[in-house]
């Protein structure tokens, strides 16, 4: 009866804890939603301010006060405001329906609007003070593709093209455009949309920053074709416009090249180019890891190969998985000799200290790695991997050692990692492959069956310890990950044939054999 009472109390306490956690999460989500909405409204107000500034620039040289009063009374101004309101309403609804998580991050919203602001201002300057066709109309598409995603880039490019149309028709002065065909102003959003979409498709193949410039040269071809058909006349102005259209592609690439790196730094954004730079063996932290902890470096390389293969198998970002694996153990550089993979002399310093101190040293590598990556300004998604790849797992070796020394009276939490459980599928992959590689390296028998049993036990143990409860990984994906790891590990740690020991003939005997002066039995 007493046991039932205790069991019911424990169950009620668990239910209360779950309800409390859910209430806290709902409050947190509500705060994030309000922050996102306020940030969105703030950026919209900034955009209206930019448009008003453009209006003032257009009135400069006249009586600015009279010009502004006249403009404020005209229907064009109110049409412009209404158009902007509608466009931003559509933009907000797109993210609200399709990417709610995006709106919960003020940093993401500021990044998106910064791309819009910068692209609009640069394009307006070129169309106002130079030539309409020379403005870098591909700029937004190229920036959004790299810094956001292809899908978002296509949608933002449509909004951007419509914004330019509004600016061209209701704020910019046509005589500054250097165009004789009024249809050009109407068709400018079509030119922006087609050229931008073309560049978005090509940007998927740009694996290095320098290839951005190549993409910009190719992507301006549809712009040149449209300008050629619209303004075709054999005169000097036609060739100026045609060369301006070609120059717009070069300008787009140059601005994208510079601004992409700037936005990466300002918003600590992960891009394919930055990930490739971080996973270069000459990256500063990688060179330091190789010099100070060669065993950990080699372990990280193999884990990166496994993580990348698993990410590909379940359609996740393979380049990001590789980068996370490269840096997940950089904290071991502080005391490399306390980790098995770096103990080449046969001496284990843990044999000379108490298990309590050993545990503190071992689990400190996650905190040390986190602080080191933060100091070097690496993206948050890579920094988080340092504290999530061990979650809250117990450090079994030293827990068992402490149990022997204290007759079993040990609090397991004192011998567990105090990190965060994996929040994403990639962190779950990293947790599995990190343990699987370390254990597989210690096996004497590395048959496919033995490795499969090992990986299965690793996954099952982490499921029992509820390490995957905070990420959305499925049982099917875990099974795919298991099979992928088994295939990779059996390939890395495969058995080799025993080579026979034979005495090879020396070069002088070989020469005599060729001349026939020595008996073959020699």
What's the rounded Cα separation, in Å, for the pair 140 and 517? 80
Confidence of residue 339 (pLDDT cuts 50, 70, 90): confident
- pLDDT of 279 > 70? The answer is yes
Stretch 322-333: mean pLDDT, rounded?
Answer: 92
- Tokens, residue 39: 């940030």
Whether the Cβ atoms of residue 417 and residue 391 lie closer than 8 Å to each other = yes
What's the rounded Cα separation, in Å, for the pair 256 and 140? 8
User: How crowded is the C-beta side of 384, counted as CA atoms within 13 Å?
Assistant: 14
- What are the two backbone dihedrals, phi and then psi, of residue 343, each rounded to the nearest 5 degrees? -95, 85
- Tokens, residue 300: 């990280």
Would you state the pLDDT for residue 442?
A: 76
What is the per-residue pLDDT across 4-16, written as a single tens digit (0 to 9) for each? 554 555 555 555 5
What is the per-residue pLDDT across 43-85, written as a single tens digit (0 to 9) for each? 888 888 887 777 667 655 555 566 666 666 667 677 778 888 8
Three-class secondary structure assignment of 139-199: HHHHHHHHHCCHHHHHHHHHHHHHHHHHHHHHCCCHHHHCCCCCHHHHHHHHHHHHHHHHH
Lowest mean pLDDT, pick from 112-116, 131-135, 249-253, 476-480 = 131-135
Q: What's the whole-number average pLDDT of the chain?
A: 80
Would you state the pLDDT for residue 174?
A: 46
- pLDDT of 324 > 90? The answer is yes
Would you state the pLDDT for residue 429?
A: 94
- pLDDT of 373 > 70? The answer is yes
- pLDDT of 388 > 90? The answer is yes
Q: Match 């098995």 to its residue by tokens.
A: 340
* Closest residue by Cα to residue 363 from 432, 420, 321, 306: 420
DSSP for 350-399 reads GGGS-HHHHHHHHHHHHHHHHHHHHHTT--HHHHHHHHHSSTT-B-HHHH
- Tokens, residue 288: 């330091």
Stretch 102-124: mean pLDDT, rounded?
Answer: 88
The one-character DSSP state at 315 is T
- Tokens, residue 517: 């002066």
Q: The pTM is what?
A: 0.76
Stretch 258-279: mean pLDDT, rounded?
Answer: 87
Would you state the pLDDT for residue 34?
A: 78
Would you state the pLDDT for residue 207?
A: 66
What is the per-residue pLDDT across 442-470, written as a single tens digit (0 to 9) for each? 777 767 888 888 899 999 999 998 899 88
Whether the Cβ atoms of residue 128 and residue 57 lie closer than 8 Å to each other = yes
Residue 45 burial (CB count, 10 A): 9
What's the rounded Cα separation, in Å, for the pair 11 and 4? 10
- pLDDT of 233 > 80? The answer is no
Whether the Cβ atoms of residue 471 and residue 427 lie closer than 8 Å to each other = yes
Confidence of residue 183 (pLDDT cuts 50, 70, 90): low
- pLDDT of 113 > 60? The answer is yes
Q: Please work out, in degrees rounded to the nearest 5, the angle formed at the alpha carbon of residue 366 by the alpha carbons of 347 and 277.
A: 105
Residue 337 burial (CB count, 10 A): 14
- pLDDT of 513 > 60? The answer is no
What's the rounded Cα separation, in Å, for the pair 368 and 335? 10
Better-scored residue on pLDDT, 370 or 3: 370
Lowest mean pLDDT, pick from 53-57, 143-147, 224-228, 455-459 = 53-57
Stretch 181-192: mean pLDDT, rounded?
Answer: 71
What's the rounded Cα separation, in Å, for the pair 317 and 6? 47
- List own/partner pairs for 310-314 with CB under 8 A and 24 or more apart: 310/429, 310/432, 310/433, 310/480, 310/481, 310/484, 310/485, 311/426, 311/429, 313/480, 313/481, 313/483, 313/484, 314/425, 314/429, 314/477, 314/480, 314/481
Stretch 324-347: mean pLDDT, rounded?
Answer: 86
Would you state the pLDDT for residue 164?
A: 84
DSSP for 440-477 reads HHT-S---HHHHHHHHHHHHHHHHHTTTTTTS---HHH
Would you state the pLDDT for residue 504?
A: 58
Whether the Cβ atoms of residue 125 and residue 182 lie closer than 8 Å to each other = no
Better-scored residue on pLDDT, 122 or 23: 122
- pLDDT of 144 > 80? The answer is yes
Q: Please work out, in degrees rounded to the nearest 5, the angle formed at the alpha carbon of residue 24 by the alpha carbons of 18 and 29.
A: 125
Stretch 351-367: mean pLDDT, rounded?
Answer: 88
- pLDDT of 403 > 90? The answer is no
Strand, coil or helix: 416 = strand
Confidence of residue 325 (pLDDT cuts 50, 70, 90): very high
Whether the Cβ atoms of residue 269 and residue 382 lie closer than 8 Å to each other = no
User: How crowded is the C-beta side of 158, counted as CA atoms within 13 Å?
Assistant: 10
């Amino acid at each position: 009866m007493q046991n039932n009472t205790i069991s019911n109390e424990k169950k009620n306490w668990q239910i209360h804890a779950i309800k409390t956690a859910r209430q806290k999460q709902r409050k947190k989500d509500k705060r994030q939603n309000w922050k996102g909405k306020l940030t969105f409204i703030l950026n919209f107000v900034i955009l209206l301010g930019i448009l008003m500034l453009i209006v003032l620039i257009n009135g400069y040289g006249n009586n600015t006060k009279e010009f502004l009063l006249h403009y404020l009374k005209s229907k064009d101004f109110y049409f412009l405001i209404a158009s902007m309101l509608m466009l931003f309403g559509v933009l907000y609804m797109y993210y609200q329906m399709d990417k709610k998580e995006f709106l919960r991050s003020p940093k993401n919203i500021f990044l998106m609007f910064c791309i819009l602001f910068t692209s609009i201002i640069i394009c307006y300057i070129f169309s106002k003070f130079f030539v309409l066709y020379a403005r870098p109309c591909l700029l937004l598409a190229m920036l959004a593709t790299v810094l956001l995603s292809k899908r978002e880039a296509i949608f933002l490019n449509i909004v951007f093209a419509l914004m330019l149309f509004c600016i061209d028709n209701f704020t910019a002065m046509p005589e500054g455009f250097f165009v004789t065909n009024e249809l050009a102003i109407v068709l400018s959003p079509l030119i922006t949309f087609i050229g931008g979409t073309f560049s978005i498709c090509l940007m998927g193949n740009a694996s290095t920053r320098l290839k951005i410039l190549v993409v910009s040269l190719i992507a301006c071809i549809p712009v040149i074709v449209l300008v050629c058909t619209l303004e075709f006349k054999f005169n000097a102005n036609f060739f100026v416009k045609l060369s301006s259209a070609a120059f717009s592609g070069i300008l787009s690439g140059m601005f994208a090249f510079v601004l992409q790196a700037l936005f990466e730094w300002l918003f600590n954004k992960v891009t394919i180019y930055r990930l490739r730079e971080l996973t270069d063996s000459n990256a500063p932290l990688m060179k330091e890891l190789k010099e100070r902890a060669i065993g950990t470096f080699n372990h990280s390389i193999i884990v990166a190969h496994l993580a990348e293969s698993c990410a590909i198998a379940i359609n996740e970002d393979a380049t990001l998985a590789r980068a996370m694996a490269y840096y997940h153990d950089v904290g071991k550089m502080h005391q490399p000799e306390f980790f098995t993979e770096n103990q080449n002399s046969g001496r284990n310093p843990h044999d000379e200290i108490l298990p309590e101190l050993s545990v503190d040293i071992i689990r400190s590598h996650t905190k040390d790695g986190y602080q080191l990556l933060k100091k070097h300004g690496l993206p948050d998604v890579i920094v988080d991997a340092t504290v999530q790849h061990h979650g809250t797992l117990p450090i079994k070796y030293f827990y068992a050692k402490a149990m022997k020394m204290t007759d079993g009276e040990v609090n397991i939490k004192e011998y567990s990692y105090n990190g965060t459980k994996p929040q994403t599928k990639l962190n779950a992959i990293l947790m599995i492959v990190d343990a699987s590689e370390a254990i597989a390296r210690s096996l004497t028998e590395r048959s496919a069956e033995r490795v499969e049993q090992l990986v299965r036990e690793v996954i099952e143990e982490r499921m029992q310890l509820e390490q995957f409860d905070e990420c959305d990984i499925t049982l099917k994906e875990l099974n795919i990950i298991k099979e992928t790891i088994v295939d990779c590990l059996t390939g890395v740690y495969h058995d080799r044939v025993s080579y026979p020991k034979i005495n090879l003939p020396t070069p002088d005997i070989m020469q005599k054999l060729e001349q026939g002066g020595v008996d073959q039995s020699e």
